[in-house]
Amino acid sequence: MATPRQPEGRVLFSRMTNHVRLRQLQLLLALQQCGSIAKAAAHLGMSQSAATQALAELERVLDMRLFERHSRGIRTTQAGQALIDTVRGVMSELEDVSETLASIRIGASAALRLGAIPAAAHSILAPLLLQFYALKAQQVHIDIQEGEGSRLLPLLVSGGLDAVFCRQPPLLPDSFVFDSLLSDQAVFVAASHHPLASIKRLPLASLSDAHWILPTTSIAVRDIFEREVLPQLPQANWFPLSTVSLPVLQGMLSAPGAVSLVPRSVLAALGYGAVSPGICILDIQVNQHALRLADLGVARSSDAAPALLLEMLELWRSSSGFTAVR
């Protein structure tokens, strides 16, 4: 009786697990980055002949061309790009876990993997970790990824993170919960030298000539701008960029007439309240309820949250309780 033919994907997976080495995966990333076998080999401390052989072996295992030559070097094929997209994530995860393992090796008693959006990182996680490490006698390794909730929450659901400090998500799987830790709202900000900086009770129309710095479309304050500001200022102008980078925002606010709408929770990170403040809150008279943002807090497993995480949350509640950003 003939042996049943296996699906092609299973065959390729079996070949990769049996024959592909991590060094070859490193080489793939270097080849795409450098666009040259010679440069990639030098970057990895390999000889050019060893790099050529390693690539040839990998292509032989997969029975596919991963790179093609052109007049100025090499470029990925469709198959090569598909593999590299996954390899990049694998190598990044290995780098992260190496940091955790190194900490455990030198004496860390526990490890925790956290994600945080910028607002939560500055207003919750930074002060919380300062308190936490001041009280902890033993070493604890905490790995933190900062990014947008849309990228971090899938990592939580898939098990790549233990918790995500973020705004309350509209939906979470039944096995996850969200603990509210901090209320928040949007505020209008400008450089401290802005002509409107010291004027009280300004109508929104006073910003008709402003040059807006917009957050990316996935950020909650962008929704508020489009829902509350733009209908009243239909001729509003903005810079041809959108960003969640606080250093970029801080720098752009120094431009003439520049204003932005930001969460109150990030004001300290922008320099507000410092001895020599760089920004100010504009006293714009709008419906404050319309500026309310979803609470900041933590999304976590409802039944398998690490004890270390629960200890941190108890510390926050005992020292702060549920608080409003001031």
Query: What are the residue ranges of CATH 1.10.10.10 in the chain?
Result: 8-92
Task: Please give the backbone phi and psi of residue 59, each rounded to the nearest 5 degrees, phi first.
Answer: -65, -30
Query: What are the residue ranges of CATH 3.40.190.10 in the chain?
Result: 100-181+296-324
pLDDT tens-place string over residues 62-111: 999 999 988 788 889 999 999 998 888 888 778 777 766 766 665 555 67
* Strands 163-167 and 292-301, sheet pairing: antiparallel
State the chain's mean pLDDT as an integer. 87
- Tell me the C-alpha distance between 175 and 303, whole Å: 7
- Tell me the C-alpha distance between 30 and 66, whole Å: 13
CB 68 within 8 A of CB 74: yes
SS3 of the chain: the string is CCCCCCCHHHHHHHHHHHHCCHHHHHHHHHHHHHCCHHHHHHHHCCCHHHHHHHHHHHHHHHCCCCEEEECCEEEECHHHHHHHHHHHHHHHHHHHHHHHHHHHHCCCCEEEEEEECHHHHHHHHHHHHHHHHHHCCCCEEEEEEECCHHHHHHHHHHCCCCEEEEECCCCCCCCEEEEEEEEEEEEEEEECCCCCCCCCCEEHHHHCCCEEEECCCCCHHHHHHHHHHCCCCCCCEEEEEECCCHHHHHHHCCCCCEEEEEEHHHCHHHCCCCCCCCEEECCEECCHHHHEEEEEEEEEECCCCCHHHHHHHHHHHHHCCCEECC
Identity at 38, one-letter amino acid code? A
* pLDDT score at 6: 66
* pLDDT score at 276: 57
Task: Please give the backbone phi and psi of residue 195, each rounded to the nearest 5 degrees, phi first.
Answer: -55, -25
What is the CATH number that goes with domain 100-181+296-324? 3.40.190.10
Residues in Cβ contact with 191 at an 8 Å cutoff, skipping those fewer than 6 apart: 197, 253, 254, 258, 278, 279, 280
Which two structure tokens, joined as six digits, stand for 216? 């990316």
What is the CATH number that goes with domain 183-294? 3.40.190.290
Residues in Cβ contact with 101 at an 8 Å cutoff, skipping those fewer than 6 apart: none
- Tell me the C-alpha distance between 50 and 30, whole Å: 14
DSSP designation for 206: G
* pLDDT score at 326: 45
* pLDDT score at 108: 52
Name the architecture of domain 8-92.
Orthogonal Bundle (1.10)
Residue numbers of the chain with a pLDDT score lower than 50: 2, 325-326
The number of residues making up the chain comes to 326
Residues in Cβ contact with 80 at an 8 Å cutoff, skipping those fewer than 6 apart: 28, 32, 65, 66, 67
Query: What are the residue ranges of CATH 3.40.190.290 in the chain?
Result: 183-294
